[in-house]
Amino acid sequence: MSLREQLCAYGRRAVELGLVIGSSGNLSVREGDLVAVTPAGAALDRLTPQMCPIVDVEGHLVEGDLQPSSETPMHLAVYAATGAGAVVHTHSVFGTVVATTMTELPPVHYNALLLGGAVRVAPYATYGTPELAANVREALAGRKAALMANHGGVTVGATLEEAFEATRLLEWLCEVYVRGLGVGAPTVLTGEQLDAVVERALNPPAFPRRASS
Ligand SMILES: [Zn+2]
């Protein structure tokens, strides 16, 4: 699948899964110094490959008739800082709820480790600005996900599939936390408990083979 075809496929999926309503999110995927990005203001479930602009990592338009997403500077800042292969940004409901109420999503489930642990909320700045890009870059240090205050979430991956799955996981973790608050005070895992998960994942027990008769 070409980079632009990937944007169309994952754009559709993001809308189908309710992670994005209309144009309230943007995706990009990189190959070398070229980045295919979703166009500004377009519904993500109605993209065609030709609609998706290609820019270079410095932000010059290389191909396409439509303007790149207004959040393209943030995507490019993330590529420069992380060397990621793809970036996904959405205004998904539970991610946005956490981003409007907290400064960090605490790790209440061990799968938070797949995103690097507690997810930081980048301080608020106007969408599309270099200031927001800088805040997100900082919040992503050592993480695969960050939240943007009063705005939404952003995830990275080596591939668009990886970045997309990180967005699904981020939304799930935020939903568990928010729903947990409705029942009681969610227990946050300790550093020791998280270290034990890493240890276990690195050393899975082997099942002994039954002797054949
Ligand atoms: Zn946004």
157-161's contacts with Cβ under 8 Å and 24+ in sequence apart are: 157/84, 157/85, 157/86, 157/88, 158/84, 158/85, 158/86, 159/29, 159/85, 159/86, 160/6, 160/7, 160/10, 160/27, 160/29, 160/85, 160/86, 160/88, 161/10, 161/86
pLDDT at residue 77, rounded to an integer = 96
Ligand 1 centroid from CA 176, angstroms: 22
**CB atoms inside a 10 Å sphere around CB 55:** 23
Is 192 annotated in the active site?
no
pLDDT of residue 213: 73
Between the CA of 53 and the centroid of ligand 1 the distance, in Å, is 18
Q: Are the C-beta atoms of residues 147 and 122 closer than 8 Å to each other?
A: yes
From ligand 1's centre to the CA of 153, what distance in Å? 8
* Catalytic residue, candidates 5, 71, 131, 138: 71
CA of 209 to the centre of ligand 1 (A): 52
Between the CA of 204 and the centroid of ligand 1 the distance, in Å, is 40
Cα of 203 to ligand 1 centre, how many Å?
A: 40
| 8 A C-beta contact, residue 23 and residue 51 | no
pLDDT in tens, 28-57: 999 999 999 999 999 999 999 999 999 999
Round the CA-based radius of gyration of the chain to a whole number and report it.
Answer: 19
Task: Tell me how far the alpha carbon of residue 25 lies from the centroid of ligand 1, in angstroms.
Answer: 5
pTM attached to this predicted model: 0.95
> In angstroms, what is the span from residue 199 Cα to ligand 1's centroid?
36
- What pLDDT is stored for residue 212 in this prediction? 86
- Digit-by-digit pLDDT tens for the chain (213 residues) are 999 999 999 999 999 999 999 889 999 999 999 999 999 999 999 999 999 999 999 999 999 999 999 999 999 999 999 999 999 999 999 999 999 999 999 999 999 999 999 999 999 999 999 999 999 999 999 999 999 999 999 999 999 999 999 999 999 999 999 999 999 999 999 999 999 999 999 999 899 999 987
